Structure 1
């Protein structure tokens, strides 16, 4: 077939931007836009003009690439289930930045950072709720929390009400006082309320995953940063007698006196500390910040002003401590902290805020409308369990939500409820609203997902790159790579026809080096070598002379050039010196010298396969160029060329 490449010479004044859809090349009547060509060209070329490939030269590579992909489409490789699954996997990763509210993420990261700059001293009252509370449980907990809140706001002591009402297991010891907290330390609703409640004030009950909290703010201060410290700990056992407690106190004071006289802190920690995890490091523990340890220990740490300062003995719930300040550091800058905060924001309670914000923006963009009357018309139908509910969907076709060109009908909701087994139980009005909203949210996100390629051209180009990259790999593997490695007849023929290309610069020895541990094994191995084909020699020698208890011979096989193996150099090429091998002092070789060429392609299999693959690829491209018409618009190409000069 005649090779068909048509260059169109058109005297047009071509201007283009990313938004324009000019065709730069057509392959088998399929137009390819200048945007797509430029995307690949820029991605595969550096900004260094000396390294940048000329546009017309790159066009030929681009055409070759597109021809291969086009054939993959013609062979319907894009319909294979494995291809679809692989592409879907890539897409699910790529869509993440597009199906979220990045502005809200940025706001929440900055808010979290501002919280990290300040510590808040708080107390709380907790009314617990389990992970899946019933409406009755929720109402009861809220009522109890409101009762406690009203008594506090009417003037009763917060500590008193905390002891009476709070279900925090530590309340008897701390009377609700948690001490200073900082950003990212507690669940987000608690954190948000603590930072927005003025000093001296008490918040109304707020809901977290633990239940309802009433929060009192005692104080706020600028963050103290973090301190690196070492400590010496003398533990007080829970069942210690007063006499034992006094002895432990005397012991820690004695250690402090030694330190005051100039004793080495590190050595004393190693010898005396009951904290085994830090004792062998001279007492050093991890960085201490707000809320990371007990209040007594934290206060003692931040009272140390200068690096090297040592505290007097400090008592905590764990025992007696002596603390040494090793280093200080201030809070990170926003730029430094951002990559550490962002993942937390995306995965804690803030994730729901981000998701809801994104959905609300979509609803606004797509003119989302709800029809509560049509939704609530389903209440009677759903008030009782109904296994045959799908039979009634035909009579329920009114819209409950609309957006863009989409309509969610009553029957759509009924089908969803049936599929999720909700119709096996009565559905009240509040649950119906929740489930319908869930359907609406899922549907609008699915719609947005389907619109990404149109809405974001750069995403469309990236997805197309992944798609065609997978197709290129699959068809290249079928037509070239896998074919070349398995085509023994083709490899042999290619090698013989191109044998001169593989001529040796120096002779090679192909065979085996046999190391023997004794004269007897040497003689036996020699006899075996004379009577055994080269391919079977190594196996035969090992089977005959080696056992589980002893290896009488050691065999090394390969293709050896001069100066790559001292044994071959000496015994085959008669050059160099051979050092004595005490373990295997008797050595001989078995094989032949290849003076000019390899005996077969197997001797240089990797090199020949690579060359054969290149040969097959070149033939394939020629075939594709003959088979499929190629039309290049040179005016557009020249315009692109001038923009890249």
Structure 2
């Protein structure tokens, strides 16, 4: 929550006036020549102003920023810097709360700058691009024997290659699936997987399928299940999602008599549905055996391709008109009749982005992305492994338990063994042991102890190196961190010196009210009851109740009670002592009449008028909200003026002109 408060507050100070977008153009000059101003002797760089002003969105087609807007924003920027300077002087940047809050932002703020982010973004876009299509494919699975040897794996591979050849020579993959496939479902679906799209199959299978043309057969594809031979039967655009309701009549698949009875029953139901007088919801309630949906008209959740069993799914997507009913279809659950309730296209990327990201992070793509991240980091930062030393350490320590790792390292005199060099720094085996000390492993690693922890240590050091590199060398990230740092300080100072003080200083509020009483004056007011007629059919009823007198609490109370209980949506009312001048209805009314009917902007209003009040001062209690707001503005202005005296501001006009020109490129 505070994150949003800070950003909104900072942006309102510097961006709302300009209202135009400019692209940041960070200077490459020396620190001295890019100093825009000094605040109490502390330099402020030109690029900081450019960065903050560049974060507004475009509101018109005019490029850049006018001179007047630039000067206004510069004044606001100076006031902002004065407050940040004062927050630092008060030590607000040294508190534990400040440090904790800034650190909590850093992990989120750095994410878009990391190598992983760009690689992950690429996978998201690739997945969404594939989701534009659906593929129907058949496959044959060749599983490995338990505890398979290399020789066993080769035998499985040869069998897969033989079957691939048979298919290419004209054999039918579905017939071969019944004969050869180790997929248990092949005996019922003959290897036909139905339609699917991206992120519904394991990654190697998906990659292979989407790279095949219709009719083409894949080479053996290795997944965690074994080798697959895949043939694509069809490719077509993704139809999006549908919502259907259904009627289900169950039967036991192995009981032919029961199935025959179910088939006759679903046929009778289908005949009944064809009658014009039939109410779908009644049929569902009376006959559907799906207890989870029959109480709500048989409606099922929205679903897309690859989410339901193929026969049900194909029937659902074959319906084209809302309300259209399918003939009975058979699935493993029984006989169904479907009705189309609604359909919608594939959602935009922005709507699906987080869902796609979640799926990617849960499957093998996440490990693939991490491997790519490590490879890029190694290349970027000059990673060089001491292969001889690492190989020896693996041989010596892979069989050692984690708890004994450090002891064994020292007893075998291996602590100083080099692991790798990164950015001219050599990391040793003892550094790995230190890293391992406070970390736990949930599952026993399949790799040896050294190999398992070494890979994680390398990834950890590379990640730390990347973060340090971004923190010290990425100007945009540095600007973003400074924005949040200063925003937290600004929020803390304003909360302390202005907002909380304005809320809690009751004596100060009263004193401010007395000194500025002329700002808290009532205009001419009148007792009034204004009734806006929303239902013209109730107009005469309202007239009969209201037209016999003027403003009266008893009349108002009676009318309110009556219409709230009988016609709560027929009228909209307002009553009380109301200012006349700015009221949209009373300003047009004849205040000399106790009762009147007024037509305004196509709406009918019934108005009761009571006592009139001349202009005069508001009581403090009547003005407190306005007083607090104005008192806070007064405190902020007083603070700003005092800071201008405390911290003299000097502007470098030459650099100021450079900033203006940079914003108008």
Give me the TM-score of the superposition, normalised by structure 2. 0.67
The match for 1:36 is 48
Q: Is the 8 A contact 2:139 2:229 kept in 1?
A: yes
Equivalent position of 1:614 in the other structure: 633
Aligned match of 1:219 in 220, 229, 232?
232
Q: What's 1:512 paired with? A: none
| 1:523-562 pair list within 5 angstroms | 562=577
Q: Which residue of 2 aligns with 1:413?
A: 432
Indicate the residue corresponding to 1:432 in structure 2.
450
1:253-332 equivalences under 5 Å are 253-258=267-272, 266=280, 269-270=283-284, 272-275=287-290, 285=300, 290-300=305-315, 311-323=326-338
Do the aligned partners of residues 382 and 499 (structure 1) sit closer, same or farther apart at CA in structure 2, a change above 3 Å counting? same
Question: Does the 8 A contact of 2:37 with 2:651 survive in 1?
Answer: yes
After TM superposition, give the deviation of residue 317 of structure 1 in Å.
1.4
Q: In 2, distance between residues paired with 1:229 and 1:614?
A: 55
Looking at structure 1, the residues matched to 265 and 642 of structure 2 have their Cα atoms a distance apart, in angstroms, of: 90
Distance 1:477 1:335 in 2: 36
TM-superposed deviation, 1:350: 1.8
The 8 Å contact of residues 273 and 280 in structure 2, kept in 1 or not, is answered as no
Partner residue of 1:233? Answer: 247
Superposition map of 1:142-157 within 5 A: 147-153=155-161
Distance 1:338 1:427 in 2: 33
2:556 aligned partner: none
CA distance in 1, matches of 2:301, 2:365: 28
- State the Cα deviation string for residues 586-608 of structure 1 (Å, max 9, x = none): xxxxxxx9995566x55533333
1:249 paired to 2:263? yes
Cα distance in 1 for partners of 2:217, 2:494 equals 70
Counterpart-to-counterpart distance in 2, 1:494 and 1:92:
44
1:27 alignment partner in structure 2: 39
1:206/1:431 Cα in 2 relative to 1: closer, same or farther (>3 Å)? farther
Question: 8 Å contact 2:38–2:649 — kept in the other structure?
Answer: yes
Q: Secondary structure at the match of 1:20?
A: coil
Distance in 2, Cα, partners of 1:507 & 1:68? 42
Inter-CA distance 494–254: structure 2 relative to 1 (3 Å threshold): closer
- Contact kept, 8 Å, 1:269 with 1:279, in 2: the verdict is no
Q: Distance in 1 between matches of 2:319 and 2:495?
A: 67
Residues 506, 561 of structure 1: 8 Å contact kept: no
- Distance in 2 (alpha carbons) for counterparts of 1:617 and 1:287: 53
Structure-2 change in CA distance of 1:356 and 1:256 (3 Å)? same
- Indicate yes or no: 2:462 matched with 1:444: yes
Quick one: structure 1 residues 142 and 256, their matched pair in 2 at CA, closer, same or farther if it must change by over 3 Å? farther
1:215 is paired with a residue of what secondary structure? strand
Task: Please tell me whether the aligned partners of residues 280 and 297 of structure 2 are also in contact (alpha carbons under 8 angstroms).
Answer: yes
* Deviation at residue 294 of structure 1 after TM alignment: 2.8
Aligned residues: 540
Q: CA shift at 1:471, angstroms?
A: 0.3
Which of 370, 381, 385 aligns to 1:366? It is 381
1:228–1:325 contact (8 Å) kept in structure 2: yes
1:297-338 CA-to-partner distances (Å, cap 9, x unmatched) read: 345556668888765432221222344567777767889977
State the alpha-carbon separation in 1 of the partners of residues 276 and 203 from structure 2. Answer: 47
* Structure 2 contact 399–448 (Cα < 8 Å) conserved: no
Residue 292 to residue 52, structure 1, CA distance change in 2 (3 Å): farther
Residue 221 of structure 1 aligns to a residue whose secondary structure is strand
Partners of 1:110 and 1:334 within 8 A in 2: no
Q: What do the CA deviations read for 1:601-638 (whole angstroms, capped 9, x no partner)?
A: 55533333333322322232232222223211122224
> Structure 1 residues 294, 145: closer, same or farther in 2, change over 3 A?
farther
Report the alpha carbon displacement of residue 467 of structure 1 after superposing the two structures with TM.
0.9
Pairwise CA distance, 1:413:
0.7
Verify the 8 A CA contact 2:242 2:342 in the aligned structure 1. yes
**CA shift for structure 1 position 493:** 3.5
Q: Is the 8 A contact 1:399 1:410 kept in 2?
A: yes
| Contact 1:122–1:194 (8 Å) recurs in 2 | no
Separation in 2, partners of 1:122, 1:176: 5
1:82 aligns with 2:94: no
Q: Tell me how far 1:267 sits from its aligned partner.
A: 6.5
* Aligned partner of residue 54 in structure 1, secondary structure: helix
1:502 match:
520
Instruction: Report if aligned partners of 1:231, 1:269 keep a CA contact under 8 Å in 2.
Output: no
Other-structure match for 1:72: 87
**Secondary structure of the equivalent of 1:119?**
strand
Q: Does 1:404 align with 2:423?
A: yes
Please give the alpha-carbon distance, in whole angstroms, between the structure 2 residues aligned to 1:334 and 1:486.
Answer: 48
Structure 1 pair 245–60 and aligned structure 2 pair: CA distance change class (3 A): closer
SS for the counterpart of 1:223 is strand
Cα distance in 1 for partners of 2:57, 2:322 equals: 53
1:499 and 1:333, CA in 2 relative to 1: closer, same or farther beyond 3 A? closer
From 22, 26, 40, the counterpart of 1:18? 26
Could you tell me how far apart the structure 2 residues matched to 1:45 and 1:197 are?
43
Alignment deviations for residues 437-460 of structure 1 (CA, whole Å, 9 cap, x no partner): 221112111221223244432222
C-alpha separation in 2, matches of 1:324 and 1:496: 72
TM-score of the aligned structures, taking structure 1 as reference length:
0.69
**Bigger Rg over Cα:** 1
Shift of 1:342: 5.4
Q: Deviations over 1:455-507 (max 9, x none)?
A: 43222212211110110010111122222333344334433444444355469
- SS of residue paired to 1:631: strand
In structure 2, distance between residues paired with 1:346 and 1:619: 52
Matched with 2:644 is 625
**How far, CA to CA, are the matches of 2:290 and 2:445 in structure 1?**
57
CA offset digits 1:88-135 (Å, max 9, x no partner)? 222222222222242563256335633652414233537599xxxxxx
Match of 2:121 among 105, 115, 128: 105
Residue aligned with 2:135, SS: strand
- 2 CA distance for matches of 1:323 and 1:507? 64
C-alpha distance in 2 between matches for 1:89 and 1:171: 51
Distance of 1:634 and 1:303 partners within structure 2: 71
Which structure is higher in RCO with an 8 Å CA cutoff and minimum separation 6?
1
Distance 2:627 2:323 in 1: 68
State which of 471, 474, 479 in structure 2 corresponds to 1:456. 474
Q: Distance in 2 between matches of 1:312 and 1:146?
A: 48
